[in-house]
Amino acid sequence: MKNLTTPSIAIIEDNEDLREEVEFYLQHKGFPVWGVPSAEAFWKKLHFHPVDIVLIDLGLPEEDGFSVVKHLRQLSHYGLVIITARGEKQERLRGLDLGADLFLVKPINFVQLSDALIQLGQRLQTTQNVSPTPTCQPNQTGAWYLEAASSQLVAPDETAIKLTPKEFDLLKVLVESSNQIFDRWVLHDLLFDYAEEPDVHRIDVILSRLRQKARKQGMTLPLRSVFGKGIAFVVES
C-alpha cells in the first residue's frame, strides 16, 4: 500500500448501476478502484491488478460472496468488506467468522463507506508494512508476543498463528495490557468505532476464530472470559 489514505479497491457487484455508482464515488474520493460483476471476472483481473481491499456482494452469480471471502482470507491479508442486502444476524456473523473486516447493509452510505475504507487501509498498512526488526518487543507479554511484521501471535514454544487485521487489533489491546479485564463493549468501540449498529457479538466471533486457529496449531490461548466483566489475556508473572 503506497499511501495511508488511499488503499486500492476492487468491487465485486453484479448490480451494474450500483457498481458504477460506488466506483465513481470512490474514484472521486481518490481511491484507485476497479469493479467486476462476478467472482470469475474478479479472479481473472486480480492477478494483473492487485488491490488492498475487496468489496464483495454476497448474492453473486455462480460463486457466492461467502466463498470469495473465505478464499481471499486464506490467500493474503486483504481488507474484506461485505456489501449486501442480506443483513440478518446469521449472515453477518457468518461473514465475520469467515474473516470479513466489515459488513455493510444496502443501501450504502457512501460517506460512511469511504471513511471505513480509509480506516481499514490504515490498519492493514500498520500490520503489514512494519519493519521486521525486533520492534515487537514493546508488545511482548511474558513469553507470548505479537510479531507485527508478519502479523502473527507467537507462543512460548515459538509456535505461531497468522492473524487477520481485526484479530491483530484485538490481540494488540489484550496482549499489551495482559491480565487486565476488558469489557466487550469497550473492545467493540476500540475495533469498530465507525459501526453504525454496534454488535458486541463481533468480538465473540473474532475470539472464537482465534481459538479455532490456535487449536489447529496445538496451542491453547491464555484468553479468559470473566463472567459479568469481560475478556483478559492472562499471563502468569
pLDDT in tens, 47-62: 889 999 999 999 888 8
Domains and CATH numbers, the chain: 9-127 (3.40.50.2300), 134-233 (1.10.10.10)
Q: Are 152 and 175 in contact (CB under 8 A)?
A: no
Whole-number pLDDT of residue 5: 61
What is the per-residue pLDDT across 74-110, written as a single tens digit (0 to 9) for each? 776 788 999 988 777 778 878 887 888 888 888 888 9
SS3 157: coil
Sole residue written with cell 461473514: 95
pTM exceeds cut of 0.85: no
Give the span between the Cα atoms of 25 and 89, in whole angstroms.
28
Q: What is the DSSP letter of 176?
A: H
Q: Are 202 and 154 in contact (CB under 8 A)?
A: no
Question: Which residues does the chain have with pLDDT short of 70?
Answer: 1-5, 76, 126-142, 193-197, 237
Sole residue written with cell 501471535: 153
Give the span between the Cα atoms of 88 and 127, in whole angstroms.
30
SS3 16: helix
Whole-number pLDDT of residue 149: 76
Q: Are 145 and 139 in contact (CB under 8 A)?
A: yes
